[in-house]
Every structure is written in C-alpha cells, then in structure tokens.
C-alpha cells in the first residue's frame, strides 16, 4: 500500500524519510529481516560518522550495520542517500521493536484483571487537597509493600524449588548407581557362564539380574525426567524471583519518590483546590457511563482542533464509518461523546470533551464541573495555539496527578501549508523538490511546535512536558499494526498511553516477558 511500510516491505521510502528524504523510487534494497540477520564484513565504517544514534540491542545494532555496509558496497548511491539508508534502517528497526511492545501490552490487558481507578478510591475517603496528596503517596507505599511481600514469597519458592532440585539430582545419582550395579551383576553372571558353562542356576540368576537391570534403567529414566522437570520449575521460579525482586525495588524507589513529590507538592501548593463531593463523583461517573474494569481516556480541546478525527483514528475507524465520532469544524454536540473501542476485547473507552472558548469560571470549577477527575488520562489536543481551557485542564490534571498528553493534530495539513508558504507548487515542482520541501517543513513544524508548547507552559507556570505531533492519516496505520513512512510521534503516543494506564490500573511489569517499557 502506498505510503506504508511494514517490517518486511521495501525499505527505501521509510528509510529515507528518517533523514528527511521522501521518495517513491522502488530500489531493490534488503528487508529489515535481511539487514538484521545478514553477516557481512564491515569495510565502510567511515559512513557511520555523523549519523544519528538510535537505541537497539547490541547484537541487533551490530547486525544492522553489517547488513547496511553490504548495501554500501554493492549500491551506486550518493553518500547522503547512503547515510539516510543506513540510519533509516536502524530507525525503522527501532520503531519495529517499539511497535512490538504495543501488542504485548494489549495482550496483557486483554488477559488480566483491571483494578479500580485508585484516584476515585482516594477521593471517596478524603476531604482536603492535602489529604489527597498524602493518600496518593500512601497508595504507592502500600503497593511497594505488597510487591516486597510478593518478592519474598517468590524468593522462598525459588529456594524451595532449588532444594527440590538438589533432592531430585541426588535421587537420579542413586538410580544411576543402582543401574550400574545391576549391569555389573549381569556382566558378572555372563562371565561366570563363560568360565563354567551354562547351568539352570546361572540362567535363573541371569534372568533375574537382567530384570533388575531393566528396572534400574527405567528408574534412571524416570529420575532423569523428574530432574529435568524440577530444573525447569527452578529456572521459572528463579526468573519469577528475579522479576519480582526487580519490581519490588522499582516500586520501593517509586514510593520513596512519591513521598518526596508529595512533600514538594504540599510545599508548593500543587493539590486539588476543591475535592469533589461524593454526589459530584457519582454524577460525573453517571454522565460518562463509567464502568469498572475499563480504561477511560478523555480527548479535550477547542472546537475544530480534530478531537473526533483523533478518536476515530486511534480506534482504527475512518471518519465516515457508522460507529465513528461525528466530525466537523463546529462542535457537533455540547455533551461528552462516549466511544468504546470497536474491538470488544480491548477495554478502552474514548471520550470527546466539548470544546469551549473563553474560560468564564475558575479553572478548578470548570475541571470539576466537567468531571474530568474520573478519567485515567487526558489528551489535550490543540491545532494552532493553547486556549485557556487547555491550560485549565493541564493545571488541574497536575493537581489531581492525572497523566496528560499534549498533542498537536493535523501535522500533515500544517506541513503542507508550510510547503506552500515556502513557494511549493504542485503544478510545477518535481518529486525531488517536493520531498525535500516536505522534509524541511516537517522539521520546522516539529521545532516550532515544541518551542510554542514550552513557552505556553512556562507562561502558565507549568513544568515543561513532551508534545506529540500527529496526523490522523499516519495514526490509522499504526493502530492497525502497520508502520507509516511519515510517522512523527504517533507510535510513541499510543505506546505511552497504554503504559501509563497499565501502570495505574494493572499489576503490569512487562520487562518480565518482553522489551522493557518505561512507565510514566
């Protein structure tokens, strides 16, 4: 499919875009799989100089370079394009590893229970913002304590399994010794027959000895199988003990950090100004049709910034799909839209929060009135600039310790507009000029957006945080497990949201069975 590249497809378009080149030229370049498994001599290491560094496991990074060097030796391409090819190959492989973590996390979510939202549990039991901050920190401490107990139990089980393995190996050794003695007995009787000739007595002794030998050898086979089974359980127990110990250490560190953060929050007054009443919590949950066991993701932003299109894309639906959220520059409704994931095995619900113009009430009052405290995370979507509502949401999410994601939408539209501002003409410019201008416009959009967000956050007395620059057309393939050659931040946005949700609602430690994911 044009404009998309899976890990097994032609590399060139996706590879070159990583360095700012965009091309449709179908050069016969090896696939990522080939680059990762090829073994060629490294002869052109000089091309490594000045290239971007992308994290890969050591052996994979080495193999990508070796495969790429083979391409360098057999392809008549100019040096800048070669550099783009090599760097892009590593980038795309890195994206593949990143993308691989998403289905692993989704599979975990589908097969494991989801705990109640801890923030809502805390809100039911406290009265002041100070109590909220302290209780949220205490939740981390309690979870760390439980993790420490799990680690101790796993360690004890590992020790017990190791003792059982020692006993099994001792039994195996004894069985082998008995079998050897039985074989010696058979050989002795056979030797006696050779010396003295066969007799009824020796024949009976030989038959009995052979029966004892077969029985002893069978006992050896059983003992060896038992030892193998026990050894497998020992390895599993040791791995579990290692992972739970690592989990406990990480959670203990997180709990200590949470206590320090709580002290800092109280010192600086970063806490909910007004705690919602029990009735307000119940009304908020009723308004959004809140369900335990589901993740509730809110998308907020001004009218026309692309909230509905983003929700549709991240659900894998075209805007014209029957189950898609309504789109349009003018808000299609003044109520919160609720959109479950079309895949019933994924416990996600997305909410379209109506946009507003000028903030006509205190920010905390707007936040509580909208019931935004019930959500697991909030995406603050903007098109050109932050609004007062955006700042109000970010401010109060910070007070309630709700993860937020600042997202700039319509990246493709902004890039195209920048190209036209720079003099691009679709009627006269050739493909090479178009791709060069696209790369330059994309780079400028990313730099300008990050600077704008940094400045807006600073003016609002908010800490700097990452901004994700996305396009609906690029996000859609990623949700369907395809890699688009025009990716900017779409892949990382999906990954980060899933990880953060799991960190707060699941006992989720993916480093135990896959690439490490970093929880926020």
CATH number at residue 324: 3.40.50.300
Backbone phi, then psi, for 288, in 5-degree steps? -100, 5
**Which CATH number do you get for residue 206?**
1.10.287
- What pLDDT, on a 0 to 100 scale, did the predictor assign at position 318? 77
Assign 122 to helix, strand or coil: helix
Asked whether residue 512 is domain-assigned, the answer is: no
Average per-residue pLDDT for the chain: 77
Pair 258, 104: CB distance under 8 Å: no
What's the average model confidence in pLDDT over 360-365? 83
In a domain, 273, yes or no: no
> Do both 495 and 346 map to the same domain?
yes
Report pLDDT for 327.
66
Q: What is the pLDDT of residue 437?
A: 85
Task: Report the b/e string of 192-216 with b at 16+ CB within 10 A.
Answer: eeeeeeeeeebeebbeebbebbeeb
The sign one gets for the Cα dihedral 306, 312, 314, 317 is negative
Is residue 69 predicted with pLDDT exceeding 70? no
> Measured between alpha carbons, how far is 88 from 67 in angstroms, rounded to an integer?
13
Q: What percent of the chain has pLDDT over 70?
A: 75
Q: How many helices (H) and strands (E) does the chain have?
A: 15, 6
Residues in the chain: 520
Q: What is the pLDDT of residue 179?
A: 94
pLDDT band, very low/low/confident/very high, at 428 (cuts 50, 70, 90): low
Q: Are residues 172 and 244 in the same domain?
A: yes
Compute the half-sphere exposure of residue 337: CA atoms within 13 Å on the CB side of its CA. Answer: 22
Q: Are residues 262 and 282 in the same domain?
A: no
Q: How do 348-352 and 377-382 pair as beta strands?
A: unpaired
Establish if 429 belongs to a structural domain: yes
Domain termination residue (choose one: 268, 297, 332):
268
- Among 240, 268, 296, residue at a domain's last position: 268
Q: What is the pLDDT of residue 325?
A: 75
Residue pLDDT, tens place only, 282-323: 999 999 999 988 999 999 988 778 888 889 888 888 777 776
How crowded is the C-beta side of 306, counted as CA atoms within 13 Å?
A: 23
pLDDT at 55 over 70: no
Structural domain ending residue among the three candidates 213, 242, 268? 268
Q: Measuring CA to CA, which residue among 464, 478, 326, 475 is closest to residue 406?
A: 464
Strand order in the sheet with 337-340: 337-340, 348-352, 295-300, 377-382, 404-408, 467-469
**Banded pLDDT at 447 (limits 50, 70, 90):** very high
Same domain, 440 and 419: yes
CA angle 255, 259, 260 (to 5 degrees): 115
Q: How confident is the model at residue 20 (pLDDT cuts 50, 70, 90)?
A: very low
289 shares a domain with 408: yes
Using alpha carbons, select from 348, 312, 350, 306 the residue that is nearest to residue 328: 306
Q: Given pLDDT bands bounded at 50, 70 and 90, which one contains residue 339?
A: very high
Confidence of residue 238 (pLDDT cuts 50, 70, 90): very high
Would 392 be classed as within a structural domain? yes
Task: State the number of CA atoms in the 13 A half-sphere of 373 facing the CB.
Answer: 30
Confidence class for position 264, pLDDT limits 50, 70, 90: very high
Residues 122 and 134 in one domain: no
| Range among 1-5, 11-15, 69-73, 368-372 with highest mean pLDDT value | 368-372
Domain around 295: 118-126+278-506
pLDDT of residue 374: 94
Number of domains in the chain: 2
For tokens 């901004």, what's the residue? Answer: 467
């Amino acid at each position: 499919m044009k404009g998309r590249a899976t890990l097994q497809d032609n590399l060139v378009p996706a590879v070159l875009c990583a360095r700012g080149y965009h091309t449709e030229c179908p050069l016969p370049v090896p696939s990522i799989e080939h680059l990762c498994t090829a073994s060629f001599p490294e002869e052109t290491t000089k091309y490594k100089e000045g290239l971007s560094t992308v994290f890969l496991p050591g052996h994979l990074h080495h193999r990508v370079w070796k495969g790429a060097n083979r391409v360098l030796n057999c392809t008549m391409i100019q040096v800048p394009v070669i550099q783009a090819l090599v760097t892009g190959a590593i980038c795309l492989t890195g994206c593949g590893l990143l993308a691989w973590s998403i289905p692993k996390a989704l599979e975990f979510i589908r097969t494991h229970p989801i705990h109640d939202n801890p923030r809502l549990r805390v809100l039911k039991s406290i009265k002041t913002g100070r109590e909220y901050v302290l209780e949220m920190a205490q939740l981390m401490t309690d979870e760390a304590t439980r993790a420490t107990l799990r680690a101790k139990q796993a360690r004890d089980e590992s020790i017990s399994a190791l003792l059982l393995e020692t006993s099994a190996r001792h039994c195996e050794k004894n069985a082998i010794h008995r079998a050897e003695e039985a074989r010696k007995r058979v050989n002795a009787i056979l030797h006696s027959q050779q010396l003295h000739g066969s007799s009824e007595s020796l024949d009976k002794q030989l038959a009995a000895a052979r029966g004892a030998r077969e029985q002893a050898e069978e006992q050896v086979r059983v003992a060896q199988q038992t030892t193998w089974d026990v050894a497998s359980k020992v390895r599993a127990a040791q791995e579990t003990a290692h992972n739970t110990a690592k989990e406990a250490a990480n959670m203990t560190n997180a709990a200590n950090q949470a206590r320090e953060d709580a002290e800092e929050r109280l010192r600086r007054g970063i806490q909910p100004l007004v705690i919602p009443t029990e009735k307000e919590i119940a009304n908020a949950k009723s308004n959004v049709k809140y369900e335990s066991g589901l993740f509730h993701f809110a998308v907020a932003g001004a009218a026309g910034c692309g909230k509905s299109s983003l929700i549709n894309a991240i659900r894998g639906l075209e805007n014209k799909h029957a189950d898609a959220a309504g789109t349009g520059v003018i808000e299609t409704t003044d109520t919160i839209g609720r959109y479950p994931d079309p895949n019933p095995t994924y416990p996600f619900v997305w909410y379209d929060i109506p946009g507003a113009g000028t903030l006509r009430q205190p920010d905390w009052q707007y936040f509580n009135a909208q019931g935004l405290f019930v959500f697991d995370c909030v995406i603050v979507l903007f098109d050109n600039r932050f609004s007062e509502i955006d700042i109000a949401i970010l401010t109060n999410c910070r007070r309630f310790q709700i993860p937020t994601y600042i997202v700039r939408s319509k990246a493709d539209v902004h890039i195209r507009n920048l190209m036209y501002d720079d003099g691009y003409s679709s009627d006269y410019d050739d493909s090479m000029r178009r791709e060069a201008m696209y790369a330059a416009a994309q780079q400028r959009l990313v730099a300008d957006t990050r600077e704008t967000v940094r400045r807006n956050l600073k003016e609002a007395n908010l800490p700097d945080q990452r901004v994700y620059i996305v396009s609906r057309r690029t996000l859609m393939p990623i949700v369907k497990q395809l890699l688009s050659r025009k990716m900017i931040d779409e892949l990382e946005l999906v990954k980060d949201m899933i990880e953060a949700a799991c960190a707060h609602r699941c006992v989720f430690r993916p480093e135990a069975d896959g690439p490490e994911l970093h929880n926020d």
